[in-house]
Every structure is written in C-alpha cells, then in structure tokens.
Structure 1
Amino acid sequence: STMVEPFFVHREAIDRLSHHDMSQERTTLRLFVDICGDKPINAYGRADASAFLTTLRQLPVHYGKSPKDKGRGAAAIIAEADAKGVVRISDKTVKRHLTALSQFLRFAMDQGHITKTARDEMVGGHRFREERKARKQRDAWTPEDLKALFASPVWTGSHPIRRSEAGPQIIRDAKFWLPILALYHGARLEELADLYRRDVWCDEGTWAVRIVATEGNGESGDRDLKSDAAERTLPLHPELIRLGFPAYIADTAPTPDDPLFPDLKPQGKDKKRGTRITRWFVEYRKALNLYRPGVSMHSFRHTAITRLSDAITDFRQERHRDHLMGHASSGGSEGRTRYDKGPGLKAAAATLALLEYPEFSLSHLHVATSTMTALAFSQAAQEGLELMGRSCTRSSA
C-alpha cells in the first residue's frame, strides 16, 4: 500500500491519466489489497492474481455504485449478492481490473521492486469469457425509434422545465442540439458537449467544427480524445445549417472561450460536460416510454456510421467516412496511416451530406438562411473574427 500514492503521482504527472481513470484504478488496487492482503510487492505471485480474478467475478454488476458499498469488504458484498441472486460483473470489467493491476506492477518493476519475469508471470496468460462482438454490444437506432424520438416534446414543443411534457416552447439548448449533432455527425458525446466558439469557423461557405485535445483551466477539464485519429475537422451537416446552428453559436457563445453549451456545467473531477446529458437522455426517454435497453447517446454514432457506409459508393468516400468518424484510415499502408492528414473540407462535406434520415423531418425547425446568416455574421463582425466571417459573407452574398 505504500506504493499506491507514488504510483498515482506518476500516473497523473507522466501518463496524464484522467481523474475518472485514476478513480477506477484506485478501486482495483483497493480490491486487490482486500482480497490478497497487504504485502511487499515481491511477495505476490500468480496464485494471488488468479484468486483476485476469481473473486472479482463474484462481485455484483452494480458494485461500487451504492454508497453502502463504501468501506465494505468484497466478501461481505459477495455474500449479500449470493443471498439476492443478483447479476455479476462481466469478464470485460474483470479484464479491465487486470489491466489496471498490470499498470501498477509495471510501475513497481520500474522502481526495482519486482522483475519483468515476475510481473509477466502474475498478469500474463489469464483467460476470459468471450464477450459479444463490438457491433453487438450496443444497438443502433431503428427508423421507428428516430421517428418517435424527434416527434417528442423537445423538438415539437415542451414545458420549459419538464421537457418530457408537451408545451409551447422549443428551447434550443444542449438537450435540443446534442442528439441532432450526434446523429448527423457520428461524433462521440464528449467531443460535442465540450465544444467552444473557437472550435467553429467558416471556410469559403463551408462551416466546420474542430475536434482537438485541449488542456483545461479552472472551469473546464482536459479534453482527451480516444485516439490520434479522433483529432479532426468536421464539416457541419447541411441539416445543422438549415436548423440555424451557426446562429445559435453566435448568440450563445459570443467570444472564443465561450462553451457552445453553457447549460451543461462541468461535473466530477474531470469536469466533463457530457455526463449530465447522458443521465437526462435516459430519464427523458423513460418518461415518454421511448427507452430501450442498449440504445443510448452513443448509439447515434453506430447509426450514423451504418447509414453513411450504406450511402457511399467509392474508396474516396470511405476515406472521408473514416476521417469524419475519427477512425484510422482503412487500407493500412504507412502512407495512409502516418502521412494522410485527412481530406479537404469541401470533399468531406460532400460525403457527409449523403447521410440522410428520410423517416423523420425537422423542417418545422428550419431557420431562414438570410436570417441565420445575418445573425451569425453581425456578431462575428463585431468581434472581428475574420476567420469566421469574411469567407462566409462572400459565399452568402
């Protein structure tokens, strides 16, 4: 246990691990000490790792999510789970705990407390139940789902506070925009929820959103991306233009450092904005009897990738799709994976425009182009944001 805090100093300072991931790793090490005892690092062996994994598989699926679990040992929690016959954690979660333990043992190895052979013997070669393939782990939205969702109060008129109730107001906030953005761009929720005014601009008539990793400040956390390929520039889908998203940006985020969704306050140690919308989206659909297990905000990504893949017709559009979705380029050659900086904005925009959803219509929410342009660029001109204003003003004219 004396190695734990130095390990997390290293994880934060050198590996730049998020607070969320460090919290998960702390849980792993706490469970390991609880199950295998607190001993010198070199006193553990493969039998300890095996006992650890065996015990983990007996933990209930909701372990750690209840305040009453705090301070309780694994044995007591497992005994209660046995009595209630609850579902246990998946082998995917067990494997994640082993990965976290492996990171800790690597640190111990680097500090000279164990050998590489000892570490490999402890964590290598363990077998896990095969999980469902990735494409089956989360469902996509069906046409019926989408039609029902976008005919619900947020997009047709709701109560100003109880958004699942029909009412007179259409409030264009994060709850309104983020499902639409996710569906028409296939981006991950946190990539969209944490956008700022500085991330949006117009290049000769083509609106674009920049998704990049950033370091946070006192009010916002770091924006970490899933991979190098996730750093990209997305053209705005034509439907977002018709819906007046540029005008919303100009009105809601007047200066470069303003968040596009100020109604989403950063939460947790990592100060993520997407957590709040995830919880709301579940409760909203449950209130309307639209909830289906396995379908979530991330399912919009699955749906967008599937629809766009069905619409494209050549290898150039496949390259555009991979870039738009933040995937490494298909094909595998070094020229494509290392040196390809992504397609031109207009070419990517033409491919993205192929993504359509004929099963529902948002035309009742469209904003007149002239009104939208005037709103967006009068604000841009006041700030002197040339990158955002001049080229689009020419195009609009």
Structure 2
Amino acid sequence: MAGQFDNRPEKHLRAKGLERLEPRVLGGFTEWLLDSAGLTAKTVGSRVSPLKMFWDWCIRKHIIFGPNPWDGATRGLKQQAARQGNGKPKRREFSEDELLALLQADPDAGKRWAWGQVIRDLMPLALLTGARENELCSLTVDKVVQLPGSELLGIAVLEEDAKTASSIRRVPLHPLVRPIIERRLAAAIATGEPDAPLFPECKPGGPAEKRGYYFSKRFTEFRRDVLGAGSDGLVTFHSFRKCFGTFMRRAAVAGVSECQLSVAQKLMGHKPQTITETAYMEADMPWKVYEAAILGMVDKGMPGSLVAKLG
C-alpha cells in the first residue's frame, strides 16, 4: 500500500550508503547470522569474508575510509565450526572404485546441459594437479606456462584466484592431462583475447563472482547421479585434491623422494608448518623437483586402474 512503512531490515540497509552504516549494526551482523538467521559458523564465515574483501577494496579505492569494520569478525568461527561438526562424518578422498565410477560415467547421459565436457576435463586435472575447484575453473591463456628447458607444461595460480598467499604457485601438468590443456588452450587462443578463459562454460557467480560457483552445483548433481545421495557430506569436488595428497604420500613411501611432504605442500599451495621451513628454507623449489614429484606420484602413488583409465 502506498505510504505504508516498510520494516524489512534488508531493504533499509540497501537504501543506505556504505559510509552511513552504523558501526553497531555492522558489529552485530555476525551474531545476527548465527542467532537470528540460524546459519552455521562455517556458513557465517563464508558470508563475512567477502564483505571484508569488499570493504578492503573500497578503502583502497578511497571510496570510504578505514578501518575495516570486518577485521576480526570471523575470529573464533573456525573453532566454533569444528565444535558444530563433532560427530558428523568427515569429508574424505574418493575411493578407487568411486574415482573409476566418476571417470567412466557420461556426464551428458539423460541431461540437456552444457556441462558434460567441462566435468570430463576438470576431474582428471583436479586429480593430477591437486588444484582447487575455482583455481582450475579460472584458468586463462596466460596461466598456462612453459618454463625454458622444462619437460612439462604447467599451470599458474595467481594472486586474484589464490585462496591464501601460499596458494600462489605453479604446478606441472602430467602428460596424461596435457591433451586437455592443449585442446582448451587452442580454443581460447582462437578467440584472440590474451586472457581468454580455458573453461568459458564456468561463468562467474555467487557473492564473490567466482568461476567455480556454478560448476560446483553442476558437479554435485553429477556426483549424486553416479555415487548416490548417500555420498553427500562425505565427498565433493575437493575430494580430488585429497586424493592428490594421498597419492603423493603413497609415492613418498614407495621411495619417490620428490613426493615428500614439503614438496606436496608447495604443489598444493599449503603454508609451511614449521618455522624452519618458513624462515630458513627457499621459498620455492626447482621446477625439476616439481616435475619429478608429479611424474613419481602417478608412477608410484596412483592405482594402476586409474592410470589405465586416464591413459
């Protein structure tokens, strides 16, 4: 009705400029999400982190003045999320049978959608690079690297797609997945754009406009079709990354020295766990070490059935 007062809080906030939002309102937002909105601590963290990034950007561009009201807003949420998760099954890597089922399945079966080929391409890449979902979906022409004298092509994770500073890295591509990148790269170069995406099907979406946003939903549908709804909460696309870590460890146990934990950490973009590694060791290792690790992981760490399927 015209002239009637609208008491919806979200409409009130949308009508106000950033600089006019009261600190007490912002300060209570995290608690409101936890209590009134009933979200889990993990979900609240995923809501607040993009806000912090957006405010940081606005401050850098002198749109608003600091300090950032979201600094420290997620403190304690990880511990709270861990407590909330006690008793729930932990997410794990895919089993060998599950991997074979996923790799053998046809993502297009019974569906009219544009996701079949990208699902087929990203599963082997995730398995053999250990890269995160959004890191792979965000690959562009300029993120495919060939170092002088190197045997293998590689992919680069740059700052704009890195989850943390440690995530900025380069990962060699095993020959088994090189045809995927070469095919995608040729199509991207043909567009004439220097930073053309290798996976144009993966349109940006979600609060942070990530290219992995819509792909994540489509892969979940595919995974449920193949492994059943009982796999919910146990395995996700991130489970390929867990498999990569598992295969690295198996190869190290089998005698591949380049697959030791410190190398696996570098390839997966994890922060070093000791002061010795952080302060007294080289920040990066020779590319040849990374190449040997990737080759050794497949040779000594992966089940032969998977290698045969990927070949």
TM-score calculated relative to the size of structure 1: 0.55
| C-alpha RMSD of the superposition | 4.4
SS of residue matched to 1:209 = strand
Distance 1:339 1:303, change over 3 A: same
Match of 1:207 in 2: 153
Which residue does 1:82 correspond to in 2?
Answer: none
Q: How far has the Cα of 1:229 moved from its partner?
A: 0.9
Matches within 5 A, 1:77-88: none
AA in 1 matched with 2:101: A
Conserved? CA contact 2:34–2:40, under 8 Å: no
Which residue matches 2:265? 322
Alignment of 1:186 onto 2:130: yes
Q: Pick the aligned partner of 1:237 from 160, 174, 192.
A: 174
Which of 102, 126, 129 is matched with 1:149 structurally?
A: 102
User: In 2, distance between residues paired with 1:227 and 1:284?
Assistant: 29
Where structure 1 has 5 or more consecutive residues not aligned to the other structure, the ranges are: 9-28, 30-39, 61-88, 165-170, 214-222, 367-397
CA drift of 1:202 comes to 2.5
- Show CA shifts across 1:47-69 (max 9, x none): x96x9848833645xxxxxxxxx
Aligned to 2:232: 293
* Cα distance between partner residues in 2 of 1:344 and 1:128: 40
Q: Does 1:277 align with 2:289?
A: no
SS at match of 2:271: coil
- Hey, what does 1:310 align to over in structure 2? 250
Q: Say how many residue pairs are matched.
A: 272
| Whole-angstrom distance in 2 between the partners of 1:100 and 1:260 | 25
Q: 1:52 to 1:296 in 2, by over 3 A?
A: closer
1:238 counterpart SS class: coil
Cα deviation digits, residues 148-174 of structure 1 (max 9, x gap): 1112114xx85784689xxxxxx7x32
After superposition, where does 1:155-170 map in structure 2 within 5 Å?
Answer: 161=112
1:266 aligns with 2:204: yes
**Identical aligned residues as a percent:** 23
Query: Which amino acid in the other structure matches residue 329 of structure 1?
Result: P
Matches of 2:84 and 2:204, distance apart in 1: 33
Q: Secondary structure at the match of 1:210?
A: strand
From the superposition, tell whether residues 96 and 177 of structure 1 become closer, same or farther in structure 2 (CA, over 3 Å): closer
Q: Is the 8 A contact 1:201 1:209 kept in 2?
A: yes
Question: What does 1:61-80 align with in structure 2 at a 5 Å threshold?
Answer: none
CA contact (8 A) 1:57 1:91 kept: no
Q: So what's the TM-score if we normalise by structure 2?
A: 0.68
- Does 2:303 match 1:358? yes
For the pair shown, the structure with the greater C-alpha radius of gyration is 1
Q: Could you tell me how far apart the structure 2 residues matched to 1:224 and 1:323 are?
A: 16
Contact 2:224/2:232 (<8 A) preserved: no
**Which stretch shifts more, 51-60 or 189-198?**
51-60
Instruction: Indicate whether 1:249 and 2:261 are aligned.
Output: no
Over 3 Å counting, the alpha-carbon distance change for 1:102 and 1:341 in structure 2 is closer
Aligned to 1:73: none
Give the corresponding residue for 2:164.
227
The unaligned stretches of length 5 or more in structure 2 are 1-12
